Each structure stands twice: as structure tokens, then as C-alpha cells.
């Protein structure tokens, strides 16, 4: 069923299409000589790619219009694409070809009355026209494509190969560590100082405060911080000191409660565990800062741990802590906040040392094995960077393509 406006539009379109070359204001519109449509590779089965050579009539006031239809015999009334003729050139085609990706089902659904109807996958037909002012000239060729879903995104192949290689490397060294457990790990003073800091808290009869940044449980920094929390809680339970954990995220709080509880149980002190000591201080950044700073000023913890990902609150927390005379140990992979922690804390773990802390404290061979894999991975990247820089400087650019994001 076609409504009146559609019939009018199609009549006008058919009328104009009857003339292959049309004079507009003294200018002749020459349509592109070719037009192709094909399933967009490596996509979710919705996209169709359109490609056509540039027309000699291209100018600032000339446009390309692509019409789409489900049926080869039906009138082509729905515009799938309308672009200025001097835009959307295909990459590396030297302005000789145009390229566009469209979602025909979405376009047709929006223009149709039954726009929520789910349809079976079908072929779409396309017509290309060049237009200027009121003149429109179509290419002779009709293009069609059936979009298909793909099971692999080939643009990400390099990424996939790198991932598999790194996974293999990590697993190899973990397995290797199982056989020869005495792996060397360099000294990290900030982690060695944990015992000293907790000893001080015990002597002074003051609590230790643990803060794990602003990120949620989905962040690797927070997971690393929670891993360290478990080790600290174990020592705290042994020393019989109070541990306070101020949270900003309720999920992190629940996980921290569980981790601390288990550590106390492992240390044989389940009675010393107080759930209220692992609490939600506030759920937003600066109210959280106010709450934690308040705890520091009122309760004067002997030791403050800042471990995780931090933002603008880092300096306020660490400076307040320094002013109360606490021993402060920070660990963060947030490099903009590192200068603030370095200036105000006694020890600061930089970047990946935060992730290594769990392995360092537990000396678990399997965890140490992954550190070796990290070092090898870093070595490979450094070599790739140096070689890539030299080759690119010499005009050989393939190394950049190997690492290009898909």
C-alpha cells in the first residue's frame, strides 16, 4: 500500500531518472559510472557497504543520494544516504572512490508505519543518484546486498594474536614457576614498610586506615587494592590492632567485608572482626573526602594506606593524613596523582607495583611467575617500539600497521 506523498515522490523520481544526463543551471550532472553494494565485512549483520567512483560533476552544491528498497520492482523512495559530493571518500583511494556504511533495516524500519516489526534477513536494493538543486540523475546500475553476521572481526586479528601470545606467555611462566619456585623479585620498600607501619599502630594503640580509591570492583586497580587489603587484614588480626576501611562503592565495601572477615578467620581471630569497621563513608567524591578527612582528624590513625585509583581527592586525603602524623603508604596506577602521593606519603608504589604487591606479599610462586611474564612482555614491547621507531623514521611503516587498533 503506498500513500499519496510516496506516489508523488516516486513519480517525480521516475520522471527525472528517465534522463541520464540533466542540465542544471547550465551545469551538466554526470552520474558515477559504477555502483556496488556488499555486506559490510566483520560486522553484526546489520551493515551494508556502498562504494562508487567519484563523478566529474562533484562540487560544493552537488550531493549524492542513495535510495533503498526491499523489493527490486518497488519504487525507490526511501533515502538511505544523502551526502555532499565532496565528502566520504574511501581511505587511500586518492579521492577517486566514495565509501559509506549504512544500516538499511534501521532506515526502512524508521520510514515504515510498522516500525517495530521484526523481519527476516533479506536482500536490499540500492539506487545511486547525483543531485544539484532540483535536478537529479541516477546511475544506470542497481546494486543489491544481503547483510550477514560475522563470527570474527578480522580488523582485530593483530589484537587477537597479541592477546593469545601474551596469555601463552603468562601461562608458560606460571607453569615454569610451579617447577622452579625461587624466582627473584626486587625489593619494594613500600611493601616492606607495611609491617613497620602496623607495628607502630599497635604500639600507639591507634587504628590503621585503608582507602581503596574511587573506582568500583570492575577496575583492576581496585581488585589489586582488595588483594593487598586481605594481606594487611591478616597481619592486623595477628597484631590485634583495629583496621578501618572507608569505602565509596557499596560493592567494593561488600567484597572488602568478606575479604577482611576471611583474613581474620585465617589468622584465628574471627572474634576481632567488626563489620562496622568496613563501612561506606559516602557515595560521592568530595563528601567521601570530607568523611575520610574527618576520620583522620578525629581518630588520628597511626597508619594510612591509600591503594587503588585516585583522582583529585588524593592530595586532600594524603595532606590531611600527613598533618595528623600518620605513616602513609600509597600505591596507585593513576599517574597524575603520583606526584601528590610522592610529596605527602612516606612510601609510594608506582603504577604496576600496585599489581605486583599481592605476589610480593604472599611470595606465592604462581603469582610471581606472572610477574616474570609481565617483564618479558614489556621487553618485547620495548623492542617493538625501538624497532618500529627506527623503521618508521626510515620510511618503512608496516610495524605501525601490525599494532594498529581495529
- Read off the C-alpha cell for 112: 515504515
Packing angle between helix 313-323 and helix 285-299, nearest 10 degrees? Answer: 10
Tell me whether residue 90 or residue 150 sits nearer to another protein (CB atom): 150
Q: Grid coordinates 536490499 are at which residue?
A: 124
The distance from CA 125 to its chain's CA centroid, rounded to whole angstroms, is: 36
CB of 34 to another protein, least distance (A): 26
Tell me whether residue 209 or residue 260 sits nearer to another protein (CB atom): 260
Q: Grid coordinates 540500492 are at which residue?
A: 126
Nearest to 241 by CA among 272, 280, 196: 272
- Read off the C-alpha cell for 171: 601461562
Packing angle between helix 189-204 and helix 353-362, nearest 10 degrees? Answer: 70
What 3-state DSSP class applies to 81? strand
CB of 94 to another protein, least distance (A): 21
CB of 249 to another protein, least distance (A): 8
CB 61 within 8 A of CB 86: no
Distance CA(329)–CA(307), nearest Å, equals: 8
Q: In Å, how far are 55, 77, 82, 141, 295 from 16, measured between CA atoms?
A: 18, 13, 17, 15, 78
Strand segments (E) across 308-388: 327-332, 347-350
Tell me whether residue 98 or residue 372 sits nearer to another protein (CB atom): 372
CB of 367 to another protein, least distance (A): 6
CB of 405 to another protein, least distance (A): 7
User: Please, which contacts does 320-326 make with residues 24 or more away whose CB atoms are closer than 8 Å?
Assistant: 320/293, 320/296, 321/209, 321/296, 321/345, 324/296, 324/297, 324/300, 325/300, 326/209, 326/296, 326/300, 326/301, 326/302
Tell me whether residue 14 or residue 297 sits nearer to another protein (CB atom): 297
CB of 390 to another protein, least distance (A): 17
Tell me whether residue 78 or residue 227 sits nearer to another protein (CB atom): 227
Tell me whether residue 145 or residue 214 sits nearer to another protein (CB atom): 214
CB of 186 to another protein, least distance (A): 14
Tell me whether residue 55 or residue 332 sits nearer to another protein (CB atom): 332
Tell me whether residue 394 or residue 405 sits nearer to another protein (CB atom): 405
Amino acid at each position: 500500500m503506498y500513500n499519496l506523498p510516496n506516489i508523488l515522490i516516486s513519480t517525480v523520481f521516475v520522471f527525472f531518472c528517465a534522463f541520464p544526463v540533466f542540465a542544471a543551471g547550465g551545469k551538466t550532472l554526470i552520474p558515477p559510472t559504477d555502483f556496488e553494494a556488499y555486506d559490510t565485512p566483520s560486522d553484526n549483520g546489520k551493515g551494508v557497504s556502498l562504494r562508487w567512483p567519484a563523478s566529474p560533476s562533484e562540487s560544493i552544491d552537488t550531493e549524492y543520494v542513495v535510495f533503498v528498497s526491499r523489493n527490486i520492482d518497488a519504487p525507490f523512495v526511501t533515502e538511505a544516504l544523502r551526502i555532499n559530493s565532496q565528502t566520504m571518500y574511501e581511505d587511500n583511494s586518492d579521492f577517486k572512490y566514495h565509501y559509506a556504511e549504512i544500516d538499511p533495516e534501521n532506515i526502512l524500519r524508521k520510514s515504515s508505519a510498522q516500525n517495530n516489526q521484526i523481519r527476516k534477513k533479506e536482500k536490499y536494493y540500492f539506487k545511486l543518484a547525483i543531485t544539484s538543486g532540483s535536478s537529479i540523475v541516477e546511475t544506470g546500475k542497481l546494486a543489491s546486498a544481503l547483510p550477514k553476521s560475522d563470527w570474527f572481526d578480522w580488523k582485530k586479528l593483530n589484537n587477537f594474536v597479541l592477546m593469545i601470545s601474551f596469555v601463552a606467555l603468562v601461562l608458560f611462566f606460571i607453569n615454569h614457576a610451579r617447577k622452579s619456585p625461587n624466582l627473584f623479585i626486587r625489593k619494594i620498600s613500600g611493601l616492606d614498610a607495611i609491617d613497620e607501619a602496623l607495628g607502630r599502630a599497635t604500639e600507639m594503640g591507634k587504628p590503621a586506615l585503608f582507602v581503596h580509591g574511587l573506582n568500583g570492583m570492575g577496575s583492576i586497580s581496585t581488585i589489586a587494592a582488595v588483594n593487598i587489603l586481605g594481606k594487611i587484614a591478616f597481619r592486623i588480626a595477628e597484631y590485634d590492632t583495629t583496621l578501618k576501611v572507608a569505602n565509596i562503592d557499596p560493592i567494593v565495601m561488600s567484597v572488602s567485608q568478606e575479604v577482611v572477615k576471611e583474613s581474620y578467620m585465617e589468622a584465628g581471630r574471627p572474634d576481632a572482626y567488626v563489620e562496622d569497621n568496613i563501612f561506606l563513608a559516602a557515595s560521592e567524591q568530595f563528601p567521601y573526602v570530607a568523611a575520610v578527612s574527618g576520620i583522620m582528624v578525629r581518630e588520628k590513625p597511626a597508619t594510612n594506606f591509600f591503594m587503588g585509583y585516585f583522582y583529585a581527592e588524593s592530595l586532600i586525603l594524603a595532606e590531611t593524613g600527613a598533618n595528623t602524623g600518620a605513616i602513609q603508604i600509597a600505591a596507585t596506577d593513576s599517574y597524575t596523582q603520583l606526584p601528590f602521593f610522592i610529596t605527602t606519603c612516606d612510601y609510594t608504589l608506582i603504577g604496576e607495583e600496585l599489581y605486583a604487591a599481592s605476589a610480593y606479599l604472599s611470595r606465592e610462586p604462581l603469582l610471581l611467575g606472572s610477574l616474570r611474564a609481565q617483564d618479558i612482555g614489556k621487553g618485547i614491547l620495548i623492542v617493538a617500539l625501538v624497532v618500529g621507531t627506527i623503521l618508521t623514521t626510515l620510511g618503512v611503516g608496516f610495524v605501525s600497521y601490525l599494532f594498529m587498533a581495529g
